[in-house]
Chain A
Amino acid sequence: MAVERKTETPALVGKFWPAYRDRALLLVGGTQLFIYAIAILAMFTFHVSINPLEWLAIIAVGIASIIVICVVVLGVLRPLGDLSRALVHISGEPTGLTAPNLNDDYYAKSHLRPLLQLIYELAASQPESTELPAKANASKPAKHALDVPSLLNNTSTGIIMLNSDHEVIYTNQSAPVHTDQHGTTKIDLLFDASDSIDTWLAERGDHDIRAEHVWRRIADKLPGEEGRRLFDIYVSYQKGSEAETILTLFDQTEQYGPEDEDLDFIAFAAHELRGPITVIRGYLDTLNDELQQALSGDQKELFSRLIVSANRLSGYINNILNASRYDRRHLKVHLNELPVSDIYESISDDMLLRAQSQQRVLNVNIPTSLPTVAADSDSIGEVISNLIDNAIKYSNPGGTIEVSAILAGDFVEVSVRDHGIGMPSNVVANLFHKFYRSHRSREAVAGSGIGLYITKAIVESHGGTISVQSVEGEGSTFTFTLPVYASVAAKLKAAGGDNDMLIERSSSGWIKNHGAFRG
């Protein structure tokens, strides 16, 4: 539906002031005259006798008062005249009047200066919006007509225009489009299903007159396809306009491309690293069952150390892969409705073995009665396992590690507490940074320093927070929160089960991205 353009010449801005001023003077002067006429009529009616000299005086006073009232009205209306003149000036209409000079003392005294200044500033910041097309063309003929559509083919920036039926009505050469067998132009952009231009436009139709949106890092082809480009896309929407939606696509392939290759490297590295660890863990698992009778007491202990170490190696590989994805804004969690106790259950055997083989006592209290949370089970399993690993690392043999969960408002709070060496407050501030290892790294503890970094990233991807309380010499308590499922269910359903909605609530500065990866 295109809006019909009115064909008659639009009224000029410059016509307003003279017409308004003249009508105001006519009204005031006319009213004054009318009052005098009534007064004189009254004198005749009641036979008031007046000599000619008095008549002369009455008429003179009448004329003088009309002149005075007109001068006063002109003075009162002057600001309106000046504002009109300023508007005429910035509208580009032909005019013999000069623009109001901001330095004029009158404008300072009358406090009109800020208003004029605002008009001039608005004109300077949006020249095209103040210069309406019809008038601009009428008053300032272009030197020669520009063939804008073909000139736009000279830019590497893609431009696509859609009408109100979301049909493509214009594309320049750089725009990623193709024509299908019916001759219809189709846009080649691989949006995330939950955040595509179609879904965005569908919402606009109901809500907005005018809207803008930016997508980053949208590809036109799948990874590996030839000539693949990556765009940052700026979309503006103006309801009722002939080109209702205008997409401007900035080709950022050079900037994003290398990162994408890195990402493919990570995808393959994941495959290569996981292969051997699958075999090691799998065979250990198999042998553990089959050799139970054959192994002596301390051989069993050695065997369980093998299993624990293989599991930890697997965890580290996951941390590295996740950190790499997170740094590229590619970490995505798939949120489901789960009890926290189920998540822990999925890692409990592993955790128990880890604690036992390193002589720690694991004390777990996660009530099954807690409300369900919105979580990615694997990811939160990694979070808890990182925190328990950390607690083992920084406590002493024989020490107790407590894992607990409670309800706190719309969140379930999960805590992992150790009674180990603790840390001073200056260390706490840096704890969640990548590759940060505390002052304690001087001591005999190993760690990549990546575990807490990715732990925080995963928790924040769920819309939760993580914090730590620590007393040097007494131990540390790490606490993270997960949203109760019921509190976010509606949002999650709307977003198709991924984490975009929740991330908006956290302050992690996350940029939404379509090409998300999650092992």
Chain B
Amino acid sequence: MAIHTILIIEDDRFIGEMYVRSLRRAGYEVDWMVDGNDGLAAARGKHYDVILLDIMLPERRGSEILQNLRGGAEDLIPNTKVIILTNFDQDEQSRVAMEHNADAYLIKAEITPKKLLAIIEKIGSR
């Protein structure tokens, strides 16, 4: 699955701009939402190949967004890869629950833009 479109749901401006900048330079088409409600609306309103999802978000948490998109009987985004990207130290149960519905679960502090590009490429090729 070739990846062209990416949705970033991230409230930290520095971090958001960093991802947008490096992903656009790498040739992806990128949309960026800074709160949970807008993020969910965007994800439901348009198809993206990849969604980068933060957990600690204003209005609506990343875990709720994921639950809304994939927790029901029907997967609303069957052709989208979801990468959880957080610095929050979740408790084990919440983490396992999210990992179950996501394609990757990463700690932001460990993932430089270069590594993120490599991961997106890898996910796109499988």
Any chain B CB within 8 A of the CB of A190?
Answer: yes
Contacting residues, chain B, for A517 (C-beta < 8 A): 89-92
Question: B92 near A282 (CB under 8 angstroms)?
Answer: no
Q: Contact string, B97-110, partner A, CB cutoff 8 A, digits 1/0? A: 00000000001111
Complexed CA–CA distance, A15 and B111 (Å): 81
Any chain B CB within 8 A of the CB of A508?
Answer: no
Q: A277-B109, A282-B18, A517-B92 are in contact. List 18 more A-B contacts (CB 8 A).
A: A193-B96, A266-B89, A267-B88, A270-B88, A274-B87, A275-B15, A278-B87, A279-B18, A283-B14, A284-B112, A285-B114, A286-B21, A317-B109, A378-B110, A514-B92, A518-B92, A518-B95, A519-B107
Q: Contact string, B66-96, partner A, CB cutoff 8 A, digits 1/0? A: 0000000000000000000001111111011
Q: Which residues of A contact B (CB under 8 A)?
A: 190, 192-193, 222-223, 266-268, 270-271, 274-275, 277-279, 281-286, 289, 314, 317, 321, 332, 378, 514-519
Complexed CA–CA distance, A223 and B93 (Å): 11
Question: A519 near B12 (CB under 8 angstroms)?
Answer: no
Question: B113 near A515 (CB under 8 angstroms)?
Answer: no
Distance between B24 CB and nearest chain A CB, rounded to angstroms: 12
Question: A281 near B22 (CB under 8 angstroms)?
Answer: no
Any chain A CB within 8 A of the CB of B57?
Answer: no
Any chain A CB within 8 A of the CB of B56?
Answer: yes
Distance between A215 CB and nearest chain B CB, rounded to angstroms: 15
In this complex, what residue of A is CB-closest to B56?
A271
Q: A274-B107, A314-B109 are in contact. Are A282 and B89 (CB under 8 A)?
A: no
Complexed CA–CA distance, A167 and B90 (Å): 33
Question: A516 near B15 (CB under 8 angstroms)?
Answer: no
Complexed CA–CA distance, A270 and B95 (Å): 15
Most buried by A among B14, B89, B93: B89
Contacting residues, chain B, for A332 (C-beta < 8 A): 92
Q: Contact string, B1-43, partner A, CB cutoff 8 A, digits 1/0? A: 0000000000010110010011000000000000000000000
Question: A275 near B112 (CB under 8 angstroms)?
Answer: no
Contacting residues, chain B, for A314 (C-beta < 8 A): 109-110
Contacting residues, chain B, for A223 (C-beta < 8 A): 91
Chain A at the B interface: SS class: helix
Distance between A514 CB and nearest chain B CB, rounded to angstroms: 8
Complexed CA–CA distance, A277 and B96 (Å): 25
Contact of A270 among B15, B89, B113 (CB under 8 A): B89
Complexed CA–CA distance, A284 and B115 (Å): 13
Contacting residues, chain A, for B12 (C-beta < 8 A): 275, 279
Distance between B6 CB and nearest chain A CB, rounded to angstroms: 16
Q: A190-B93, A282-B18, A519-B107 are in contact. Are A271 and B112 (CB under 8 A)?
A: no
In this complex, what residue of B is CB-closest to A223?
B91
Complexed CA–CA distance, A515 and B22 (Å): 37
Question: A278 near B114 (CB under 8 angstroms)?
Answer: no
Question: A286 near B92 (CB under 8 angstroms)?
Answer: no
Contacting residues, chain A, for B89 (C-beta < 8 A): 266-268, 270-271, 321, 517, 519
Complexed CA–CA distance, A222 and B112 (Å): 33
Question: B88 near A282 (CB under 8 angstroms)?
Answer: no
Contact of A278 among B15, B22, B90, B96 (CB under 8 A): B15
Contacting residues, chain A, for B112 (C-beta < 8 A): 281-282, 284-285
Distance between A513 CB and nearest chain B CB, rounded to angstroms: 10
Distance between A281 CB and nearest chain B CB, rounded to angstroms: 5
Q: A274-B107, A286-B21, A314-B110 are in contact. Are A279 and B14 (CB under 8 A)?
A: yes
Contact of B87 among A270, A516, A518 (CB under 8 A): A270
Question: A515 near B109 (CB under 8 angstroms)?
Answer: no
Complexed CA–CA distance, A278 and B117 (Å): 15
Question: A283 near B88 (CB under 8 angstroms)?
Answer: no
Q: A267-B89, A515-B92, A517-B89 are in contact. Are A286 and B56 (CB under 8 A)?
A: no
Question: B110 near A282 (CB under 8 angstroms)?
Answer: no
Complexed CA–CA distance, A345 and B101 (Å): 28
Distance between B98 CB and nearest chain A CB, rounded to angstroms: 13
Complexed CA–CA distance, A517 and B94 (Å): 10
Complexed CA–CA distance, A317 and B110 (Å): 11
Contacting residues, chain B, for A268 (C-beta < 8 A): 89
In this complex, what residue of A is CB-closest to B88?
A271
29 inter-chain pairs at a CB distance below 8 angstroms, sorted by A residue, are: A190-B93, A223-B91, A267-B89, A267-B90, A270-B87, A270-B89, A271-B87, A271-B88, A274-B108, A274-B109, A275-B87, A278-B108, A278-B109, A278-B111, A279-B12, A279-B14, A279-B15, A281-B112, A282-B18, A282-B113, A283-B14, A283-B18, A286-B18, A289-B114, A317-B109, A321-B89, A332-B92, A514-B92, A517-B89
